[in-house]
Amino acid sequence: MTSRPEDVQPRYRPYTAKASEPWEELAHDRARCPVARNAELEAVQVTTYEGVKEVLSEHQSWSSALGNIWPLKEPLPPEEQVLGWADPPRHTRQRKLLVKALSASRIQHMRPFSERFADDLIDELSERGSFEMYDDFAARMAAGHVCELLGVPEGERDEYARSAQRMEELVTDTMDGRAEGGYGSELNEWLDYLGEMIRAKRAAGPGSDDLITQLSFARVDGDYFEVGEIARVIQLLNVAGIGTTIGAIGNTAYLLDRYPAQKARFLSDPEGLARSLAAESLRFESPISGLWRTCSRPTRIGDLDVEPGEKAFVVISAANHDPLVFDRPDEFLIERDWANLPMNLPFGQGIHFCVGMNLSLLEMQVAAAKLYQRMPGLRVRPGFEPELLPGAVLRRFRTLEMVFDGPALPRTT
């Protein structure tokens, strides 16, 4: 007797059996039960490229107001709903503020800063011979770019970066189901701090082009945004912009170490291959493995009828390894022809497509090019076995210990 699709149980178990190489189990689910109720997730699991794209695109049927990086039982209060945690029309008015401010052309103007900043970090690490990728480089790289974009005064950047990284750690703990910790109280303190910064920017006037000033003086339908809403938008940009970039930079370094032939090819032309490397790293090992949605009206996805209130978890890691879309999907190949391939999905899809994509890509490209130009012997410490963070959403390690040979080569910018 042939089993029915609903009789096939998903093998993907990100909480109790998170695999360092999940491609076989994801291939099973994608082929045998592409849309299925996963008991471990307590949600409808979607694993094909087209299915993931459909759920992320159909915001009328799949709400974000009950969480996208961890599932809530009730929507957040309206004043707390921002961007990826909001539906139209609230989401629409917030996004209008950010699309222009984070445009590709605006972010490319940050490239000289990005290259100098990466060089400064490498100069500092050069005499060590080893460093921890996340704390010593990736987190500082990400936080520094956020400070530059927001216009945080030079004398306050170190403290701002430490606070922003602390909030990212608390969000990571919460989304992985490990603990609420002090998230609520520390979040309120952080929002108060951001509120003071916003009021100071408003008092100084609209003469600056930094992001906080732009948000502070932007009008939608003739009205300024409230300080609290701006603070929550900035908070989400901090967490998303720092956390995902930390994972993306670390995952790229790990993949280059795992695939020496691809690393050798990259070392032959770091500047020329940095863009393609970033795209392939995000496809092969996205730092965001999946996202949550909540069904808001009776709908059908694949062969499954879904009722309002049911949760869905779209497995981006599975979609980005779909053989119907990507040739040799389980191979890490840094020279794919991205001009003739569909967009891979680490930045989402539809109205919630990540507004910070351009900044994240810039940081990834500059980080990889600078690190491996100046430290061509950079590698994961021999014998070190990275441990993945638990949970369904994030795919990155707890720590990633790196070593290199001798002082860094001279900077070129």
Q: What is the pLDDT of residue 250?
A: 97
Task: Identify which has the larger pLDDT, 329 or 96.
Answer: 329
Tens of pLDDT along 204-261?
998 888 889 988 888 777 777 889 888 988 888 887 778 889 999 999 999 999 999 9
Separation between Cα atoms, residue 383 and residue 145, nearest integer Å:
32
Separation between Cα atoms, residue 85 and residue 49, nearest integer Å:
23
Tens of pLDDT along 372-391?
999 999 999 999 999 998 88
Q: How confident is the model at residue 6 (pLDDT cuts 50, 70, 90)?
A: low
Tokens describing residue 320: 């980005």
Q: What is the pLDDT of residue 173?
A: 65
Task: Identify which has the larger pLDDT, 339 or 84.
Answer: 339
Task: Identify which has the larger pLDDT, 188 or 40.
Answer: 40
Domain ranges (residues) in the chain = 19-403
In this prediction, residues 37-52 reach a mean pLDDT of 96
CB atoms within 10 A of CB 305: 10
Tens of pLDDT along 148-201?
999 988 888 888 888 887 777 777 666 554 444 445 677 788 889 899 999 999
What's the pTM?
Answer: 0.92
Query: Mapping DSSP to helix (H, G, I), strand (E, B) and coil, where does residue 219 land?
Result: strand
Which CATH number among 1.10.630.10, 2.60.40.1180, 1.20.120.790, 1.20.120.1200 corresponds to the domain 19-403?
A: 1.10.630.10
Q: What is the pLDDT of residue 177?
A: 47
Q: Which range is least confidently modeled, 2-6, 50-54, 269-273, 274-278? A: 2-6
Q: Would you say residue 266 has pLDDT above 70?
A: yes
Q: Closest by alpha carbon to 312, among 82, 64, 49, 90?
A: 64
Query: Where do runs of H (alpha helix) occur along 72-126?
Result: 90-101, 104-108, 111-125
Q: Closest by alpha carbon to 239, among 292, 293, 195, 194?
A: 194
Q: Would you say residue 269 has pLDDT above 50?
A: yes
Average pLDDT along the chain? 89
In this prediction, residues 108-129 reach a mean pLDDT of 95
Burial zone of 154 (CB within 10 Å; 0-12 exposed, 13-18 middle, 19+ buried): exposed
Element (H, E) at 157: helix 157-175
Tokens describing residue 190: 């952080």
Tens of pLDDT along 62-92?
999 888 887 888 887 887 888 888 889 888 8
Task: Identify which has the larger pLDDT, 157 or 363.
Answer: 363
Q: Would you say residue 29 has pLDDT above 80?
A: yes
